[in-house]
Amino acid sequence: MTLDLTFTARDIANIRFAISPLGEVVTSVRVVKEPGAHPLLRPWAEQVRRRLQGVGWSLLSDLVPVPTIVIAGFTCTPPSTSMPDLGLELATMRGAAGRVRSDLDAVPGPRTKRVQALYDDPERGLERLAEEVEAYWNAAMAPYWARIRALLEGEILHRARLLAEGGAQRMLADLDDAVTWRDGTLSIAHRHVSGARSLRGLGLLLVPCVFASPRVFSVTRPPYQPTVRYPPRGIATLWERRDLEPPEALAAVLGRTRARLLAELDQPASTRDLAQRTGLSEPGANQHLTALRRAGLCTAHRTGRYVLYARTATAEALLERGDRYLDETPTPRSNSR
């Protein structure tokens, strides 16, 4: 089955990109519920399923059944800005009470009791859903967000370069194996949707989405912005173990112990885990982690009885560039004669 999106000159002029934390949450539910169907994302699923025990996310789970045919639009409306945070997207979702019933009517199959309660009282149901999304985010997404966001931003920069080099045709031609561009029409191979759709002069919002993999999701029904969520390049690299030896120049600035702790945060970890790996005492590791957190180099996320630490985007950049990052900084000259 193929969905054909037809472009006018105005639509091509209105192509834009965005990142969606809420979209990542909603599509990731499929992965947690059916990890075997998502081999590239399975390492993440195996880690977070344990952390989600005791977290209340039953309504969110009900709204994303597997196999997934349709996801109700109000759960993750197309983002209105290019880099929204989760709070902004949840505020938009809370304000979508007027669309809940029509969106749920478009979803095939019977409703669970929880979804029916949402249908009967949209405002109260959306508040519960927002609370569940926040709890799910803290347990399953926030510890990984710096790395995920860096990958998504890299994907958008890559598409921007292709657009500059060869226009919309070059940028859209290799978006995904399921997507083809020809003569002003973007064709998407779909499992459940077919036919031609006009973009209504609104253009197309392209949202790279890690947890959409391996599928491409589309939104074409009013009142939403026409949107395509597609898997970005390099998803498999998100879960690879990286070099755990900190760069010498970074160790010279932070101290070897703190630089080593940052390197060990290749995956989110608890104080106990980090202490065991580095030979530190737990109080000692905690002291260094507190200093790194205050410096904006790591974040702390509570998951049940545990607190998991994760590197920030700033720390990722420092480790990625390593010695070169610091060696490029000019040495101040002395004013003495």
150-193 confidence digits (pLDDT tens): 788 888 888 888 888 888 888 988 888 889 988 889 999 887 77
How far apart (Å, rounded) are the C-alpha atoms in residues 278 and 287?
A: 14
pLDDT for 247-270, tens place per residue?
A: 788 888 889 899 989 988 877 778
Query: In the chain, where are the structural domains located?
Result: 2-235, 248-328
pLDDT for 22-81, tens place per residue?
A: 999 999 999 999 999 999 999 999 989 888 988 999 999 999 999 888 899 999 999 989
Residue 115 is predicted with a pLDDT of 97
Q: What are phi and psi of 311, to 5 degrees?
A: -70, 150
pLDDT for 190-242, tens place per residue?
A: 877 778 888 988 999 999 999 999 989 998 888 888 999 999 998 988 887 65
Instruction: Give the H/E segment covering residue 202.
Output: none
Residue 149 is predicted with a pLDDT of 87
Q: Binning pLDDT at 50, 70 and 90, where does residue 334 land?
A: very low
Q: Binning pLDDT at 50, 70 and 90, where does residue 244 land?
A: low
Q: Which two tokens stand for residue 301?
A: 């996320």
- Bond into 231 cis (ω within 30): no
Question: Is there a contact between 219 and 73 (Cβ–Cβ < 8 Å)?
Answer: yes
Q: State yes or no: pLDDT of 138 exceeds 60.
A: yes
Residue 335 is predicted with a pLDDT of 46
Residue 322 is predicted with a pLDDT of 59
Q: Which residues contact 270 (CB under 8 A, 6 or more apart)?
A: 306, 307, 308, 309
Q: Which option is the CATH number for 248-328: 1.10.10.10, 1.10.1520.10, 1.10.10.60, 2.60.40.180?
A: 1.10.10.10
Q: What is the pLDDT of the chain when averaged over all its residues?
A: 87
Question: How many residues can be counted in the chain?
Answer: 337
Neighbour tally for 27: CB within 10 Å: 25
Q: What is the mean pLDDT of residues 292-316?
A: 83
pLDDT for 97-127, tens place per residue?
A: 999 999 999 998 899 999 999 999 999 999 9
How far apart (Å, rounded) are the C-alpha atoms in residues 54 and 295?
A: 31
Q: State yes or no: pLDDT of 333 exceeds 80.
A: no
Q: Binning pLDDT at 50, 70 and 90, where does residue 324 land?
A: low
pLDDT, greater one: 263 or 137: 137
Write down the residue that tokens 């569940």 correspond to.
132
